[in-house]
Amino acid sequence: MSVAAERALCSLDNYLVLPDDTMDDRIAEARRQLGRDCVILGHHYQRDEVIRFADYTGDSYKLSKISAEADGRYIVFCGVHFMAESADILARGDQQVILPDLNAGCSMADMAEIGQVEDCWEQLERLGIVADDGGGITPLTYMNSAAAIKAFVGERGGLVCTSSNAGAAFRWAYAKSPKVLFLPDQHLGRNTAYKLGIPLSEMVVWDPYMLNGGLTPDRLRAAKVILWKGHCSVHQRFLPEHVDNVRAKYPGIQVIVHPECRWEVCQKADQLGSTERLIKIIEDAPAGTMFAVGTEIHLVNRMGKRFAEQGKKVITLDDSGCLCTTMFRISPQHLAWALENLVDGNVVNRIRVADDVKYWSKVALDRMLEIGA
């Protein structure tokens, strides 16, 4: 039996029992053999052992643009399921998207299920909040949502946004209608709307497990923003007292956080930003500057090492900083298994979005790319 045939019969379980460092040469060799046919994308929250093999790294917005322009036949996405779905939506017909571990999901995305969102929209229609022509309220969804949610939003005149361009998305929506339904991260929606001058009193949170979202008709009609009751399990862990504690311990330190953090935390921070923006803030700072960063721990630790060489101190906002457990699922073993199968002509863990869902999802994603960051 040939080596290729033997490897094709080798299950993922056989890879998972091997040490991380034994994968390095195998990943490098598979990448060499695949050449330009394969593009590896790595989200900033990936573990170091995986992201170092990425051809491109970035946040959701940056990687969406790259995946839409990628040349390779195979897009291996070291991220989570909704990111791979977005890559498939934007991919050409001859491209295939692979997610090294199908269990790499997103708890935030799972907090907005399509049946719940459709039920919410129907209840808003019954209350007259959605006008007969579909106007009255514009739905926006964060990139961290399933393709079905993106399609729902696209079909109803809305778009997808990332933390990089959420402000631009809100301004675009308010040019169309007086209200916004924002899915699924309440914190990003709240922080974005507040920065645009909308008071908290004009925002409400829709609980999908309660009738009318747990809100009175009058409260819903008065609100300018209806926020879905969802959150990021990593960023919600940061608390206002973490900001107070780090300032007390390190006088003069700058606190910068992701807008998926709670409003109370964001109000105490010096600056907010997407992962790309947080990196840029530290890049542009002079030597000697100290930063406490409220985001995923792998990214913070990576920045700590990188910027120490420039005389800058970068620490996590909370010493018990949480990693993104779903991103962490993708290991060097998963990546080696996926790449070696491609070398042998086997496409494993392909992510495919149904054509009807893909059409309206692409409408929503194209609108996002049009408004830019």
Q: How far apart are CA 92 and CA 60, in angstroms?
A: 19
Domain boundary among 297, 316, 335: 316
| Residue 364 within any structural domain of the chain | no
Among all chains, which residue has been given the structure tokens 């420039």? Answer: 310
Domain boundary among 184, 207, 233: 233
| Residue 321 within any structural domain of the chain | no
- Which residues 6+ apart lie within 8 Å of 300 measured at CB? 293, 314, 315, 316, 321
Q: How far apart are CA 157 and CA 104, in angstroms?
A: 30
Segment 69-89, tens digit of pLDDT: 888 899 999 988 998 998 998
Give the per-residue pLDDT at 7: 54
Residues 121 and 143 grouped into a single domain: yes
Q: Read off the DSSP letter of residue 322.
A: P
Token reading at 310: 């420039």
Q: Which of 50, 56, 59 has the alpha carbon at shortest distance from 69? A: 56
Give the per-residue pLDDT at 111: 92
Residue 120, SS3 per DSSP? helix
| Residue 372 within any structural domain of the chain | no
User: Residue 45 maps to which CATH number?
Assistant: 3.40.50.10800
Q: How far apart are CA 108 and CA 205, in angstroms?
A: 15
Among all chains, which residue has been given the structure tokens 């729902």? Answer: 152
Residues 265 and 252 grouped into a single domain: yes
Domains held by the chain: number: 3
Residues 38 and 136 grouped into a single domain: no
User: The whole model's pTM is what?
Assistant: 0.87
Give the per-residue pLDDT at 132: 65
Residues 31 and 127 grouped into a single domain: no
Residues 223 and 265 grouped into a single domain: no
| Residue 122 within any structural domain of the chain | yes
Give the per-residue pLDDT at 45: 81
Give the per-residue pLDDT at 67: 77
| Residue 369 within any structural domain of the chain | no
Residues 123 and 225 grouped into a single domain: yes
Token reading at 84: 């791979």
Which pLDDT tens digits describe the chain residue by residue (373 residues)? Answer: 445 545 544 688 889 889 888 999 999 999 999 999 999 999 888 888 999 999 999 877 778 778 778 888 999 999 889 989 989 988 888 999 999 999 888 889 889 999 999 999 999 999 999 976 656 999 999 999 999 999 999 999 999 998 989 999 999 999 999 999 999 999 999 999 999 999 999 999 999 999 899 999 999 999 999 999 999 988 999 999 999 999 999 999 999 999 999 999 999 999 999 988 999 999 999 999 999 999 988 889 989 999 999 999 999 999 876 667 666 789 999 999 999 999 999 999 999 999 999 999 999 988 998 887 6
Q: How far apart are CA 300 and CA 321, in angstroms?
A: 9
Residues 219 and 285 grouped into a single domain: no
Residues 53 and 71 grouped into a single domain: yes
Residues 180 and 220 grouped into a single domain: yes
| Residue 322 within any structural domain of the chain | no
| Residue 27 within any structural domain of the chain | yes
| Residue 371 within any structural domain of the chain | no
Domain boundary among 175, 210, 233: 233
Please say whether the beta carbons of 255 and 270 come within 8 A.
yes
Residues 216 and 188 grouped into a single domain: yes
Q: How far apart are CA 285 and CA 281, in angstroms?
A: 6
Residues 198 and 125 grouped into a single domain: yes
Token reading at 3: 């080596």
Residues 40 and 78 grouped into a single domain: yes
Give the per-residue pLDDT at 1: 42
Structural domain for 241, as ranges: 235-316
